[in-house]
Structure 1
């Protein structure tokens, strides 16, 4: 099965394997804490330490999705390694997880590998174990609020879309492009490639929680014959959360991003 990627010839899409897990964790952690319109706004003061903490605790989330065989990445075939040791292994991460003095640019410089963008995914029938996500959620506490809120505001009848068996509905969780590589359209090309590939393999839908306007646009307005549907949403700056003691907080401020859950129908209704 050949699926066109529409990428320039120097890049290629590959299925991510365990050997790419550390790179994927680094891209997801760094882009979220230094470029996300949500997390980089909420955590401005301790971004490096929180980036390290996210990297340390993201093993289960990333491994679960890579092990599914459904996660994709874009690789730069003409990438120029910064250090000889990186070329010898095909790429290397040089983060010093005890050095919180490093800034975002320094951490980026230490990401010496050809992976430039990731789209992590898994079969929804093989759901994530929330308990195993607890350490990661402790790093980004509002994350759990976001997913629960999008779930509560989803008014669809579950039987109308949920999977009843394997290879029916794909769940996307973690879209990230290496900082500095934005603007090439990698996220869009990777998303559309995944839509075409999944449809060809017989999947009927893909669901994704979007925390960036560009991601929401790409997934809610897919190319024909696919159909995108925004099924729930909320605005970071206006959402009021009541804690267990009844106190009102604004857990996503000062971020102003709208978070949107999107479902893409891959098969004609």
Structure 2
């Protein structure tokens, strides 16, 4: 167990709202840039045509992002000292300048075009009202192994569903996306936001939070919650050794990456 991590006063955790200008687009951009370029998984599985894949991922995840933000459970960290790069960004409180016709855009160029104060996100929804799976289809089209990873972790989950699944709203939060901008790594924003979510959720009666991870730092955060919460790693597989058999052929769909993907459940109350 650890003591709760507090963010610097420079940063503010807020509930993300799809009705607020920019929140859906900025969240989708952070998810996209973090996953396509910075993740220990996706850039190794899909190293080619990254700008095109980023644009496809961005468009593909917006409906899912909007749905998760509409739950009122998704959080974002805002930099209260953010310095806008362009005057037109300051005029609107932030702006994204990606041009999907520019297929030569680099990770650094796309990051520089993310001119807004949202710097880290934590998507979530209530387990009693799952997000429509159809909303994930465009994202899966852009990152096909996304579905493979979640299916693999689901197959490794040997719990009795009755032992943890919610019977009603307000019992279990399902995390559905974690990402921090590359220029804000090192501030422990994901840790601060995760522990804030745990405390806030417990305070309104939730008994647990579940998250799938594809990053060792995220797994570490959730496996070490502050007291009195406790964590359990429900399932895990290593990308170098995980195998899929289909039509008599065995493949290793994640072999190009080198990490452990995990599912973690944090108990907030017994």
Q: Pick the TM interval, shorter chain.
A: over 0.9
| Partner in structure 2 of residue 8 of structure 1 | 8
TM-score for both structures, normalised by structure 1? 0.96
| Partner in structure 2 of residue 191 of structure 1 | 194
TM-score for both structures, normalised by structure 2? 0.95
1:208 aligns with 2:211: yes
| Partner in structure 1 of residue 261 of structure 2 | 259
| Partner in structure 1 of residue 98 of structure 2 | 95
Task: Indicate the SS of the match to 2:183.
Answer: coil
**1:136-164 CA deviation, whole Å, 9 max, x = no partner?**
11111111111111111111111000000
Distance 2:163 2:135 in 1: 29
| Residues 121-140 of structure 1 mapped to structure 2, 5 A cutoff | 121-140=124-143
Distance 2:171 2:146 in 1: 26
1:57 aligns with 2:72: no
Distance 1:60 1:204 in 2: 28
Whether the 8 Å contact between 2:16 and 2:75 is mirrored in structure 1 is yes
Distance apart, 1:184 and its partner CA:
0.6
**1:77-108 CA deviation, whole Å, 9 max, x = no partner?**
11000000000000000000121110000000
Distance apart, 1:5 and its partner CA:
7.1
Runs of 5+ unmatched residues, structure 2: none
After the TM superposition, which segments of 4 or more aligned residues of structure 1 sit over 4 Å from their partners? none
**1:119-146 CA deviation, whole Å, 9 max, x = no partner?**
0000011112222311211111111111
Distance 2:129 2:102 in 1: 37
**1:38-62 CA deviation, whole Å, 9 max, x = no partner?**
0011111121111110001102220
**1:187-244 CA deviation, whole Å, 9 max, x = no partner?**
100000000000001100000001111110110111110000000111111111123x
Q: How many residues align?
A: 264
Whether the 8 Å contact between 1:5 and 1:13 is mirrored in structure 2 is no
Distance 1:7 1:187 in 2: 10
Q: 114-123 or 4-13, which moves further after superposition?
A: 4-13
1:141 aligns with 2:144: yes
1:227 to 222, 227, 230: 230
